[in-house]
Amino acid sequence: MSAPLPQQQPRRGASTLTIVVAVGLVLVLGLTGAGLIGWATWSHFRNDNGGSVRLADPPPPSTTAQAPSYPPQLARYYGQHLDWNSCGANQCSRLKVPLDYAKPDGATIELAVLRAPATRRTQRVGQLVVNPGGPGGSGVDYASSGSSAFGEVLTRYFDIVGFDPRGVGKSTSLKCADTAQLDQFLSADPDPDNAAETSRLDRLTRQFGQGCLRRSGDLTRHVSTVEAAKDMDILRAALGEPRLDYLGASYGTFLGTTYADLFPTHVRRMVLDGAVDPALSSEQLSLGQARGFETALRAYLQDCVDKGACVLGDSVDAGARRISQFLDQVDAQPLPTSSGRKLTEGLAQYGIIAPLYVKSYWPLLTSALERALRGNGDQLLMLSDSYTMRGFDRYTSNSTEILYAVNCLDHDDYVPISQVPSRFAEFDKASPTFGRIFAYGLSTCASWPVRSGHRTTALAARGAPPIVVVGTTRDPATPYQQSVSLARELQSGVLVSRDGDGHTGFMQGNRCVDGAIESYLVGGKVPKDGLSC
């Protein structure tokens, strides 16, 4: 029986197209980061030089701003008022949006929305819309996480509002496969060794996409990020906000950037943490993540070696070779587990990747690998299941299904699986351990039955107020350079850098980063561009 990881769960990175986790490998499987820093009062922040700054209580939000206009054909959506109902300590509602924005009078779908009221009601600043990543992460679950995910400052002064994007979770949900089919899909060989394995991989991907069309129909064609961003503006209006306050992590940065580019004058304050650079091609994104996970793996191995008696060897290079050998061995002979399921190379890969998102999980990876090297795959399977959100007898979310569907609509620049070997050299150089797995990810959407013809490009969000972009130097899933590039591409981008390990920067134990974000969102103090923490 698999168990959830303790404390916070890693986000799956937002731009990978590995064999089973297409371009958005970063779903939040729980909370967001390893640092649980709660500040006693809003008034204590760090300034740009690391010193303490005392600020007065933030002013109340302005009520003079006029609500922006909207297309008349969407009036019935923009005119909605959310009917809030109690759901535990929070409030829940449903929002109606068009399935197809080109046919606003046609079919509709519903989005699940959750609001966690600010704890200091008399000094509430506004409503902060949040997205945890994915694509496929539940904003409803994220918003309900409270101060453990957002800290005491943001939860004190903001209503935290999360929504499950179209196709996700509690919203009108995409369904593509049953548990047995998902098991088969996720356990497939991510690095096929011969023509038969290559053909099987291609067939499984095609069948998976056809299952989406068969089970979910036209919803499969309408779960793109552009459509989700348009939904978010209807949500803004339904919340009664003339401008949007937003915090997006990982893939949530791509959603936020898309929103800001579509509706630049509708933005009030926006933080994009662990950025996806929309200017990059699928191949560039995959190469970047291959390098990112190799860097994270080697940082983990250095930590293991430094602690002494590392089960993987006495050097980083020896440890990397041992992991590669282990994956080859599991490919040839999957490991048994107490659940009766086999730990295949594909599942072992997820088990290794998952703890690289959060540094505090590195000991879990060491323990899992130690047992796996002795022939017991239980702990690596547990880590893999936590990553793919598989419970004891079923998957607890449709994150894998929506991940593929969104990414294959957002990016239409993939290559046939027969051409993947021509990319081996550059991917092997980027990541000797994971390179070919990421290379095969390039073919994922080549077999997808829905083609959008859409390719992402640099987005400037011209006319938007300052947008804060946060990058972490050794982020495996959304490599740091993507945050640097996005901050440069946005007309009003402001870069904040965290020198550290793990995915995303906020609530990772860095007071400099946390203070800069909180001071900006709550008090409107824009960080110094290039702030290094």
58 contacts 123 by C-beta, under 8 angstroms? yes
φ and ψ of 160, to 5 deg: -95, 120
Residue 250 is among the residues annotated as catalytic for this protein: yes
d(C-alpha 157, C-alpha 531), whole Å: 24
The Cβ of residue 265 has, within 10 Å, a number of other Cβ atoms equal to 12
Task: Please pick, among 147, 171, 187, 250, the residue that the annotation labels catalytic.
Answer: 250
- CA–CA separation, 515 and 49 (whole Å): 12
Q: What is the CA radius of gyration of the chain?
A: 22
Nearest to 434 by CA among 16, 15, 11: 16
Q: Could you give the CA distance from residue 224 to residue 215 in angstroms, rounded to a whole number?
A: 18
> Looking at this protein, which amino acid is placed at residue 515?
G
Q: Is 274 within 8 Å of 471 (Cβ atoms)?
A: yes
Handedness of CA 400, 405, 409, 414 (dihedral sign): positive
- The catalytic residue among 273, 277, 331, 475 is 475
Catalytic residue among 386, 503, 514, 519: 503
DSSP 8-state assignment for residue 421: G
CA dihedral sign of residues 503, 504, 507, 512: positive
Characterize 187-224 residue by residue with b for buried, 16 or more Cβ atoms within 10 angstroms of its Cβ, and e for exposed: bbbbbbeeeeebeebbebbebbbbbbbeebeebbbbbb
The reply to whether 83 belongs to the active site is no
Closest CA to 162 of 123, 120, 196, 134: 134
Nearest to 517 by CA among 509, 530, 505: 505
Distance CA 136, CA 83 (A): 25
Q: Are 454 and 447 spatial neighbours (Cβ–Cβ below 8 Å)?
A: no
Q: 498: which DSSP letter?
A: E
Q: Report, as residue numbers or ranges, the catalytic residues.
A: 250, 475, 503
